[in-house]
Amino acid sequence: MAVCGVFREFRFIRRALSPIFRSPIRGQASCVKNHDSNVTRITVRPYNSVKKPVMFKSIATSLILFCVAMFAVAGGVSAQTAGLEDYRLGPGDRLKVTVFGHPQESGEFEIDGSGNLAYPLLGRVPARGRTLPDLQEFIRAELDKRFIVDPRISIEVLNYRPFYIYGEVNRAGSYPFVSGLTIRRAVAIAGGFTRRARREPVTLIRERQKGVEKISSALDIPVLPGDIIEVPRRLF
């Protein structure tokens, strides 16, 4: 009980000694009683000499890791969707063309096997190999030149053409394109690798503006509509 009384008096001792120093005494106090000499010793450790609790370090570390993870996820999403911004249209893509104020010129159209779009007033519009902004500007300029003064046009893709996968997968064939598709997901959709598959790299065949390009790709590379994925057979 005497020891506890000493602790209760410590606050008043600290206030009495504070004016002697430049700043008030702030720290942790410990009280140890020597039973042989019946003397109680009080030790004060300033806060600047006391180790910070590990809990605060853990919280700070967790916050830093959370921020890094969020940036990584954002980067991953951005990488998967960035390819569609430069996507070039091809046979099988179904588009919705809206001419504001002219519903008779609006509608849904599919690019045929020859890469053309059968559009009212303009007839067969070459669409294969164009990006959406390119096609939109082409139709706008043709309508402005021949039929409608300063038309406002919007074009969006309703359904993308499928992608194709063959080689050492269990169910080779064509499959509907979905947003965020990667080669890894495409292989899973096709039933996974066979036992004789060489899993990485695989061959990605993609149509470019100037022709077809073959790319040796890792499994996390984004897949675009119309891409062809070839999974090779391992040698051993």
User: What is the structure's pLDDT at 102?
Assistant: 94
pLDDT over 60 at 162, yes or no: yes
Q: What is the pTM of this model?
A: 0.61
Sign of the CA dihedral running 131, 134, 138, 140: positive
Higher pLDDT pick, 75 / 194: 194
Please name every residue paired with 33 in a beta bridge, in sequence order, or none if there are none: 40
C-alpha to C-alpha distance for 58 and 53, rounded to whole angstroms: 9
* C-alpha pair distances (Å), 191 with each of 20, 172, 195: 80, 8, 12
Band of residue 46 on the pLDDT scale cut at 50, 70, 90: low
How would CATH label the architecture of 94-159? 2-Layer Sandwich (3.30)
Which CATH number is associated with domain 163-231?
3.10.560.10
User: What is the structure's pLDDT at 22?
Assistant: 47
User: What is the structure's pLDDT at 28?
Assistant: 53
Residue with tokens 């179904």: 94
What integer best gives the mean pLDDT of the chain? 78
> Domain limits of the chain?
2-49, 51-85, 94-159, 163-231
Kind plus residue range of the DSSP H or E element containing 30: strand 27-34
- Nearest to residue 90, comparing CAs of 110, 75, 108, 70? 110
